[in-house]
Amino acid sequence: MIYRFKKENAARRPGAVTIGEAIGKLLDSYRLHTKFDETSVKVHWEKLVGQEIASRTTSIYVKDKVLFLQLNSSPLTNELVIAKQKLITSLNREFGYELITDIVFI
């Protein structure tokens, strides 16, 4: 790609923010950041837990910091009940704050 100006010499104007920062500020100002992350759990579920668990997940949603999961495999459900705290910790680490406090298997 041919640029008119060299990227190395380009500087932002004072006070200019990146799109990511602007979206973050927008979500914070309307207090939607938590709701956005709750929706992100559903969208990125396969990446967060892997294909094996994601393929057996039939329903997933977050409400009031509680993750509700419905799985079509009883043995997998039992395994996740045993590893519930580890799963909560890894999800919260991925988002950088306490997004999930409990997991309910339905």
Instruction: Find the CATH number of the domain harbouring 25.
Output: 3.30.300
Stated pTM of the model: 0.73
Instruction: Say if CB 80 and CB 53 are below 8 A apart.
Output: yes
Amino acid at 77: T
Residue 5 belongs to some domain of the structure: no
- Residue 11: φ, ψ to 5°: -130, 150
**Tokens representing residue 78 in the block:** 């039992």
Q: Is 65 helix (H, G, I), strand (E, B) or coil?
A: coil
Residue-by-residue pLDDT tens, the chain, 106 positions: 565 666 666 666 777 788 888 888 888 888 887 788 788 888 888 988 899 999 999 999 988 899 999 999 999 999 999 999 999 999 999 888 898 999 999 8
Q: By residue range, what is the domain housing residue 46?
A: 16-105
